[in-house]
Amino acid sequence: MSTASSSSSSLPPMLDRIRASLPALSPAEQRVGKLVLADARSFAGLPVAELAERSHVSKPTVVRFCRSIGYDGLADFKLKLAGTVNEGVPFVHRSVDEDDKPADLVVKVIDNAVSALLKYRNDAMAHAFDRAIEALTEAAHARRRIEFYGVGNSGIVALDAEHKFFRLGVHAVAHNDAHVQVMAATMLGPGDCVVVVSNSGRSRDLLDALEIARRKGATTIVITASGSPLAHQAQILLSVDHPEDYDRYSPMVSRLLHLTVIDILTTGVALKLGPELRPMLQEIKKNLRAKRYAAP
């Protein structure tokens, strides 16, 4: 993505930060910022004189704009901007560039993650979370089965969910093997819950397991991209959309977002379980304390 003609919610993190900073800038600096947002790729390649002419400001104002939003100057700003609009190193991270220094990586990777989390905060459907938390809480109260399915990177998220729900004293298990998922789904029944996690929402194995779980009467909760095949099969959809390529070899933002969804579900169920949960959690903490070395 190279321009700001798309909606602000789909901007890369650097451009999103510029857009958010505009109200705090002077009118002249705002004109420079709007030029960046209008055509970031061109801005990264044009000389300062032409940038000043297009923005109807002086050349020092262009440099002052770059410093006002946290960069060392025009050269530093254009270097970072070029890395952003060129989509970074293929299959690694959408924001980084091959020549980035460690300090650049810190800023870009964190900015990318924070931007995605803030966007998801604004996009998340509260009513879907309410339904999912209610279904999971009912299953927990009734001592029914709660299962988490995922493959590959999403399988790791499923394991994290198993660990978090296990700590609540809930009968929860994660499966990331396709054959085991099919067998487990076949043993589900009404009152049970299965949570399917998938970045792309296109996994045939997960679609098969989800269909079996639905036929057996279990409540199906799906964490995936809206509009995907899995999303269309969900009873309760917790859609997670982000600018990261679904086919990227090393997905990062999607994993953080999926882990955040699991944290929200865990927290919601813990609150629903209420006071009955506290004595057990206190005892677990007490017993775990014995596993640690005493502080010096």
Considering the domain boundaries, does residue 54 fall inside one?
Answer: yes
In a shared domain, residues 148 and 110: no
Looking at the fold, whether 172 and 257 belong to one and the same domain comes out as yes
**C-beta contacts of 22-30 below 8 A and 24+ residues apart:** 25/65, 25/68, 25/69, 28/55, 28/57, 28/58, 28/61, 29/57, 29/61, 29/64, 29/65, 29/68
Number of domains in the chain: 2
Distances from the Cα of 245 to the Cα of 200, 240, 241, angstroms:
9, 13, 10
Looking at the DSSP assignment, which residues form a beta bridge with residue 147?
A: 173, 194
CA dihedral 36, 257, 242, 205 (to 10 degrees): 160
Verify that 116 and 132 share a domain, yes or no.
no
In a domain, 292, yes or no: no
Residues 234 and 209 in one domain: yes
Question: Are residues 263 and 131 located together in one domain of the fold?
Answer: yes
The answer to whether residues 116 and 161 belong to one domain is no
pLDDT reading at 6 higher than 50: no
Residue 291 lies in a domain: no
Q: Mean pLDDT over residues 36-60, rounded?
A: 90
Buried b (16+ CB within 10 A) or exposed e, 130-139: ebbbebbbeb
Residues in Cβ contact with 174 at an 8 Å cutoff, skipping those fewer than 6 apart: 147, 148, 149, 150, 155, 158, 159, 161, 162
Residue 1 lies in a domain: no
Domain boundary among 64, 92, 122: 122
Could you tell me if residue 294 is inside a domain? no
Residue 2 located in a structural domain: no
* Residues near 80 by beta carbon (within 8 Å), at least 6 away in sequence: 14, 71, 104, 108
Q: Do 110 and 130 share a domain, yes or no?
A: no
Pick the last residue of a domain from 100, 122, 144. Answer: 122
Domain with 154, as residue range(s), is 125-286
Q: Give 189-231 pLDDT, tens digit per residue.
A: 999 999 999 998 989 999 999 999 999 999 999 999 888 999 9
Residue with tokens 């009404």: 190
The pLDDT score that the predictor gives to residue 73 is 87
Structural domain ending residue among the three candidates 64, 99, 122: 122
**15: in domain:** yes
- Both 107 and 135 in one domain: the answer is no
Residues 154 and 267 placed together within one structural domain of the fold: yes
**pLDDT more than 70, % of the chain:** 86
Whether residue 75 lies inside any domain: the answer is: yes
Mean pLDDT of the chain: 85
What's the pLDDT tens digit per position in 53-103?
Answer: 999 999 999 999 999 988 888 988 888 787 666 554 444 455 566 677 888
Which CATH number do you get for residue 149? Answer: 3.40.50.10490
Convert the pLDDT of each residue in 125-162 to its tens digit.
Answer: 899 999 999 999 999 999 999 999 999 889 999 999 99
Of 143, 121, 161, give the one whose Cα is nearest residue 273.
Answer: 143
Q: Around Cβ 100, how many Cβ atoms within 10 Å? A: 20
Give the pLDDT confidence of 92-106 residue by residue, as tens digits. Answer: 455 566 677 888 778
CATH number of the domain within which 12 lies: 1.10.10.10
Residues 23 and 75 in one domain: yes
One domain for residues 107 and 182:
no
DSSP string covering 232-262: HH-SEEEE---SS-TT-SS--HHHHHHHHHH
Are 21 and 78 in a shared domain? yes
